[in-house]
């Protein structure tokens, strides 16, 4: 039996879970009030603050650190890498700390896992980090060489969902063609061809379907006009795209359940909800062409996949492509633990991060 500690650092929370093989024994989600986090000037200044939360979880649940086989964290931002399980090393931490490839609290998570493993037998791991890049060459061209398309989406969720579907059917992920749609605060759709995510949309920067608080793709000309009209700063436009876009911009809320209730009596809310679903379906259809119509299944995951209305509408439009299978919820902790377990069991290679600057 393998003993695994999974940690997932978000902007306002620290999630910790203890697994024995693939069974979650204990888990906790600690919220961090803004009045506490604002005292820190940067992500890495929160090291002791976040470490205290994790150490408290270990102590209160009487977990023996000496018996841990792995500490796995949600991966951070480095140069692009292939998907998989990686052992955290100094080079990885150096690139994450540089901020050159983006920065998020998950970068601190990798450092915490590394430091915790120094004095024990456990190995520090990350799984399918957000910089996972398996794009085929033609997917990288956007229309202008100064703005290449990059692989930036929910890689951990995508890979874990696809592998779960394959595992449940007794087949190999590498033998399937799948379309995975992560439906959460950000919405991303990607085609998985024989074990590789060969395309996908960057919901963070403005691509694909709009979501609860992100714009997705926008009319480029109108976006340029807004940028140069003089009414908005660079940061304000960025916030429009991520944080204050999508449903938030149209309806003033990012709560899908609330929007569903509003839609029963409010025509604007009904149109907005259906438009989001419509755009999701368009992306699924687009990715089906990438796979030349050879799609084994369409997989829906993320918090919005709990909505019977949303799922039902997607099935209406997309079931002709392939069967639609639902794995509702974020499932990040389970995905981390499962990836680490597959690596410890030798079913996946634990890769060495060796991309020098």
User: What is the structure's pLDDT at 355?
Assistant: 63
Say whether pLDDT at 275 is over 60: yes
- What's the CA gap between 253 and 298, in Å, rounded? 28
Q: What mean pLDDT comes out for the span 247-260?
A: 95
Say whether pLDDT at 357 is over 60: no
CATH superfamily of 140-322: ATPase, nucleotide binding domain (3.30.420.40)
- What's the CA gap between 100 and 86, in Å, rounded? 20
The position carrying tokens 């590789």 is: 196
Give the domain 3-132+333-352 fold. Nucleotidyltransferase; domain 5 (3.30.420)
Q: What mean pLDDT comes out for the span 242-253?
A: 94
pTM recorded for the entire structure:
0.89
For 199-212, the pLDDT digits (tens) are: 999 877 889 999 99
User: What is the structure's pLDDT at 11?
Assistant: 79
For 102-116, the pLDDT digits (tens) are: 888 899 999 999 999
pLDDT interval class at 168 (50, 70, 90) = very high
> What is the DSSP track for 239-274?
HHHBTSSHHHHHHS---HHHHHHHHTT-HHHHHHHH
pLDDT interval class at 330 (50, 70, 90) = confident
Neighbours of 233 (CB within 10 A): 10
The four Cα atoms 134, 137, 138, 143 give a dihedral, to 10 degrees, of 100
User: What is the structure's pLDDT at 178?
Assistant: 98
State whether residue 57 is helix, strand or coil.
helix
3-132+333-352 and 140-322 agree in CATH topology: yes
User: What is the structure's pLDDT at 151?
Assistant: 87
CA distances from 306 to 109, 216, 286, 301, 311 (A): 28, 21, 24, 9, 8
Say whether pLDDT at 356 is over 60: no
Q: Domain limits of the chain?
A: 3-132+333-352, 140-322
Lowest-pLDDT choice from 77-81, 204-208, 246-250, 282-286: 204-208
355 compared with 63, residue with greater pLDDT: 63
Neighbours of 136 (CB within 10 A): 13
């Amino acid at each position: 039996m393998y003993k695994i500690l999974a940690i997932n650092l978000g902007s306002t929370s620290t999630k910790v879970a203890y697994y024995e093989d693939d069974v979650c024994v204990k888990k906790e989600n600690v919220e961090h009030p803004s009045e506490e986090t604002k005292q820190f000037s940067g992500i890495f200044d929160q090291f002791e603050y976040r470490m205290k939360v994790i150490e408290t979880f270990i102590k209160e649940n009487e977990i023996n650190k000496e018996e841990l086989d792995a500490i796995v964290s949600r991966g951070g931002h480095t140069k692009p890498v292939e998907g998989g399980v990686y052992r955290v090393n100094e080079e990885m931490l150096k690139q994450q700390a540089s901020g050159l490839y983006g920065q998020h609290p998950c970068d601190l998570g990798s450092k915490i896992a590394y430091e915790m493993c120094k004095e024990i037998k456990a190995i520090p791991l990350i799984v399918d980090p957000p910089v996972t890049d398996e794009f085929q060459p033609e997917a990288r061209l956007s229309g202008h060489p100064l703005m290449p398309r990059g692989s930036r989406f929910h890689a951990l969720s995508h890979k874990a969902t696809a592998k779960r579907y394959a595992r449940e059917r007794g087949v190999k992920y590498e033998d399937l063609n799948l379309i995975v749609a992560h439906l959460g605060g950000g919405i991303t759709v990607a085609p998985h061809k024989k074990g590789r995510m060969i395309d996908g949309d960057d919901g963070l920067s403005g691509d694909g379907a709009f979501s609860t608080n992100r714009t997705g793709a926008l009319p480029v000309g109108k976006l340029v006009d807004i940028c140069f009209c003089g009414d908005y700063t660079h940061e304000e436009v960025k916030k429009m795209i991520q944080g204050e876009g999508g449903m938030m911009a149209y309806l003033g809320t990012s709560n899908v359940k609330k929007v569903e209730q509003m839609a029963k009596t409010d025509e604007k809310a009904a149109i907005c909800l259906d438009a989001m679903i419509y755009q999701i379906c368009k992306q699924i259809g687009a990715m089906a062409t990438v796979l030349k119509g050879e799609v084994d299944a369409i997989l829906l995951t993320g918090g919005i996949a709990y909505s019977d209305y949303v799922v039902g509408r997607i099935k209406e439009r997309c079931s002709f492509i392939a069967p639609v299978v639902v794995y509702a919820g974020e499932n990040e902790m389970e995905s981390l633990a499962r990836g680490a377990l597959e690596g410890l069991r030798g079913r996946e290679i634990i890769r060495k991060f060796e991309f020098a600057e």
